[in-house]
Amino acid sequence: MREHGEGGISYGVSFGGRETQDTIATGVFASRTAPDQRIARMLTCSLQSGSNGNAIYVEAGRTRLLFDAGISGRQVGLRLARHGRAIRDLDALILSHEHVDHVRVAGPIHRMHGVPVYATAATLRAARTNLKRITRPVTFVAGDALRIGEATIHTIPTPHDAADGVCFVVEHGRRRLGILTDLGHVFDELPGVLRGVHAAYVESNFDPQMLADGPYHPDVKARIAGPAGHLSNDEAAELIANNGAHLRWAALAHLSEENNAPEVALRAHRRRIGRDAPLWVAGRYQVSKMFEV
């Protein structure tokens, strides 16, 4: 895995625990050469990931994007600053769905810094209590491809229990990054989406036994594990194992604090994919390092 700059703790290792100039990955995932520096670069980091708040930063050449804004505005600013970036430089804030852990500070970021907000019309309606006033939002239909600066963002409808949820593939030059969280279940299009990207954030929300033994009400447990909830560690591992041949890395994302743990998620994935799989966990309380796609 290619990493850049300072960042918080990242759980996981690259293949063989080391990286050379020319090799990104070997072993279980297909061996691939390092990105050609003549090809436009795409960088990304997780500002935070989990039911307590989500935000993912993507840099496509000179275009700077924020996907979801479910953490405090102060933390968005501080965590971007760890990598020498700033909220005021964002070209767009793109919302996946209306749940508060994804939209908490989208409104303030828009109003204070003039960052355009992109969302489906149904998401904007469902999130209006949290968003409040949004001036000239850019609406799209789930399934649309958005052109923002140097990036193309492909939106994919999901069966998550939201008004009109989507996940994303970000394309820049010949690089493609998947932002695949809040998925509901492994829907028909998802394996093909994963096969078409070079790196991905993949939801790995819960450990089935921890969920079963945990304190949640049975209705909540059924919602989480149901077809409109979240992917388990085992479901995510199976998805990656069967469709991740070209991944340079995969970030396990949206882990539950009560029903999962980084080491539990990694163990489940390595059991299915292999010990040396290029995995890392997007943290619930810290910014990640900057990774190249």
Q: What's the number of domains the chain is made of?
A: 1
List the Cα angle 258/77/132 in 5-degree steps: 80
In a domain, 19, yes or no: no
Specify which residues 42 forms β-bridges with.
Answer: 60
Per-residue pLDDT of the chain (293 residues; tens, 9 = 90+): 655 544 433 333 332 222 222 222 223 444 344 545 455 799 999 999 999 999 999 999 999 999 999 999 999 999 999 999 999 999 999 999 999 999 999 999 999 999 999 999 999 999 999 999 999 999 999 999 999 999 999 999 999 999 999 999 999 999 999 999 999 999 999 999 999 999 999 999 999 999 999 999 999 999 999 999 999 999 999 999 999 988 999 999 999 999 999 999 999 999 999 998 999 999 999 999 999 99
Per-residue pLDDT reduced to its tens digit, 134-181: 999 999 999 999 999 999 999 999 999 999 999 999 999 999 999 999
pTM (whole model) above 0.85: yes
Q: Rounded to an integer, what distance in angstroms lies between the CA atom of residue 102 and that of residue 118?
A: 13
In a domain, 13, yes or no: no
In a domain, 14, yes or no: no
In single-letter form, the type of residue at position 255 comes to: L
- DSSP letter at 91 equals S
Q: Rounded to an integer, what distance in angstroms lies between the CA atom of residue 47 and that of residue 287?
A: 4
In a domain, 291, yes or no: no
Q: How far is CA 119 from the centre of its chain?
A: 16
Specify the 3-state DSSP secondary structure of 63.
strand
pLDDT score at 184: 97
In a domain, 20, yes or no: no
Beta-carbon contacts of 281 under 8 Å, excluding residues fewer than 6 positions away, are: 10, 11, 12, 251, 252, 255, 262, 265, 266
Question: Domain with 171 in it: what CATH number?
Answer: 3.60.15.10
In a domain, 102, yes or no: yes
Q: Give the domain extent around 271.
A: 42-286
| Backbone conformation region of residue 73, classed left if phi is above 0, alpha if psi is from -120 to 50, else beta | alpha
